[in-house]
Amino acid sequence: MRVLKRPDLEDILYGCAILGTGGGGELDEGFELIDEALAQGKEFVLADPSEIPDEAMICTPYMLGAISELPAGEEDKYARLPTGEVRPILAAYQRMEAYKGTKFSGTVACELGGSNTAMAFYVAAMTGGYIVDGDPAGRAVPEITHSTYYLNDLPAAPIVTANAFGECMVIENVIDDLRAEEIVRALSMASGNDIAAVDHALCMQELRGALIGGTITKALELGRTWRVTKADGGDIAANIAAQGSGEVVFRGAISTCDWKTAEGFTLGNISISGEGDYAGSDYAIWLKNENMIGWRNGEVHATIPDLICLLDMETGEPVTNPNYRVGQQVAVVVLPAPNAFLSEKGLEIFGPKYLGYSFEYRSALV
């Protein structure tokens, strides 16, 4: 086990924001959580799965909802509701411990992203637990079902949710993660499109074979590459692609873009006009919280579960959705999907067919 210092945490969150493919939450929210815990003298302890006893109880805390603002006028219906006394994620965690009658040894991030990974880190630090070096997604994903938990038939329930209004709900007897997604998404939509949840409260023996190991360390290394390259004035897109075993597939300026919040998700489109070596070509991305499908010159080019990452070439920052704008200079980097999602069942739950497309998964990586 190792204690993560502030520079380590910064590298991890930047790496997670890149691996988040536009989703996974905002970096500033993640740093707010990290700095709050550090200010209180808390430690962030990273544990390799091999270091964790089989009997240790682990849970997965996260926030679920759209990643864009509420539609105009939507906030008004929440105006009369009170504000909870503690952060919703801690309220959900404390209620889960009481429900299970046990103390958790650590937490697992539900995905890799600027704030959702930090959420699991924050809970572990605030409660004296450790952070498992692994996760069930290996990237950011829009739904609970897009995980190795679901692929391995691990039960999500009991699930505890809490929102900003102090409302806490315990959900029992949920048949699988598909149903869990429907229920928690509905609660999120009734909570301003943002709800804290804790689920998959299991012993390490049950989790060990399901988690994608080493993903936090992977994020740290990717974030370190990002930081060093930016400081040296190097080509961030090229170095990120090399570090992540991927490719830079397009460069240009955003020509048109849009987004909307619908059914508890952020949906949007980004069109990029090629420049330099890509002049005369265009690239289009469709997103559902995360970047889902990429088209080059009207032809399908990249699809989930591969990672379609967007980097701002003026600032070097990873672009989180829907924080894009016309004229923004960007590079598209595609990184390979976690192997677990390339199985038949993996592609069924997180490939083009999940989105309703008839075409098969295809990789832009040669």
Sheet architecture: strand order including 194-203? 2-4, 44-47, 130-132, 106-107, 57-65, 194-203, 159-162, 168-171
Q: Which residues of 263-283 are buried (b: 16+ CB within 10 A; e: fewer)?
A: ebbbbbebbbebbeebeeebb
pLDDT at 73: 75
What is the distance between the terminal CA atoms of the chain, rounded to a whole angstrom?
Answer: 37
Comparing 37-41, 73-77, 182-186, 245-249, the range with the smallest average pLDDT is 73-77
pTM: 0.94
Average pLDDT over residues 178-182: 95
Q: How confident is the model at residue 173 (pLDDT cuts 50, 70, 90)?
A: very high
Q: How confident is the model at residue 14 (pLDDT cuts 50, 70, 90)?
A: very high
